[in-house]
Amino acid sequence: MSETRTKCLIIGSGPAGYTAAIYASRANLSPTLLEGLQPGGQLTTTTEVENFPGYPDGITGPEMMEDMRRQAERFGADLRSGIITAIDLSKRPFVATTDSGDTIIADSVIISTGASARYLGLPDEDKYRGMGVSACATCDGFFYRKKRVAVVGGGDTACEEALYLSGLAEKVYLIVRKDYLRASKVMQKRVLERENITVLFNTNTLSLFGEEVLEGAKLVEFKGTEREQIFDIAIDGFFLAIGHKPNTDFLDGQLRLDEGGYIITDPFTTATSVEGVFAAGDVADPRYRQAISAAGTGCRAALDAERYLLEHES
């Protein structure tokens, strides 16, 4: 078990964390970054990334994250595998403990632990992940041009994803478990008026099928009632939009969070409710959730940490 002292501890290794590490290293903060359970974050589960500027021919998610990682390493960031299991933010310097029992003492902290898309929990979701199953229409929708897709969920995200996909795909099913949409009225109206979107109310997904790639879904309407009916739809893509869970449990209530568990930051900076602690990426962003916006806030968090350390230099 070791003890490390760092000017800047970065927790999480998606685009936000690695970008923060690149900037913090170049500012001579010698950051230590804990990569977490899924080094590279959510992007490592996507296939092609075509909307990150600078890659005119696209790049796979894992390759892009490996590039960012190497870029952070090149400037001397101390990248470590492992997760932070506990952190004391009540006094400075902050003291964090890793899953291997190591202690990291940090003058500033950048939290970039991301958010995890919720899945239904069907075994088929794993089977077809990256081959028809996705939790991000903006990332993967392009691959379903002129094809048939389904979106699961009845909130604003599901409606937004269905509308986005309806501009690309030939046909979009919106699978809603209740008899109403939870989304805002304006989004509901748009979805219901869009000709190539069919909303399947009172419907749940039982399973997915297909030889090698996804070919369809088995659905049930009015499950458990006299009107129960099981039927198949032919689809090439199945998009989950049933919410995200920000990875903030390890903070144990020490930072101000919104009702969804996302870290609340100052509107103009990445400062959190604790001085010296900054947040970047999806962990503080229920709205945009894009690699490019996460990288942008990672940059801002490193600049904020640098400024904070300058102002508090002893």
Provide the annotated active-site residues.
136, 139-140
Give the chain's end-to-end CA distance (angstroms, integer). 29
Angle ∠(130,136,142) on CA atoms, nearest 5: 75
Provide the minimum distance between the beta carbon of 44 and ligand NDP in the complex, in angstroms, as a whole number: 21
Closest approach of ligand NDP to the CB of residue 152, in Å: 6
CB-wise, 49 or 117, nearer to ligand NDP?
117
E-only strand ranges, 44-183: 48-49, 59-60, 78-80, 84-88, 94-98, 103-111, 115-117, 133-134, 148-152, 171-175
DSSP character for 82? B
How many whole angstroms separate alpha carbon 225 and alpha carbon 19? 52
Single-letter amino acid code for the residue at 299: C
CB of 34 to ligand NDP, least distance (A): 27
Residue nearest to ligand NDP (CB): 155
Shortest Cβ 255–ligand NDP spacing (Å): 19
Cβ-proximal residues to 243 (8 Å cutoff; 6+ apart), any chain: 117, 118, 153, 155, 157
Q: Scan for tokens 């009107």, then name that residue.
A: 227
Distance of closest approach, residue 57 Cβ to ligand NDP, in angstroms: 30
Q: Which is nearer to ligand NDP, 84 or 137 (CB)?
A: 137
How many helices (H) and strands (E) are present in the chain, helices listed first? 7, 19
| CB-nearer residue toward ligand NDP: 154 or 210 | 154
Q: Whose Cβ is closer to ligand NDP: residue 150's or residue 152's? A: 152
Going by their DSSP bridges, the two strands 203-209 and 103-111 should be labelled as unpaired
Which CB atom, from 4 or from 293, has the smaller least distance to ligand NDP?
293
Residues lying near ligand NDP in the complex (CB under 6 A): 120, 152-158, 160, 177-178, 182, 242-243, 286
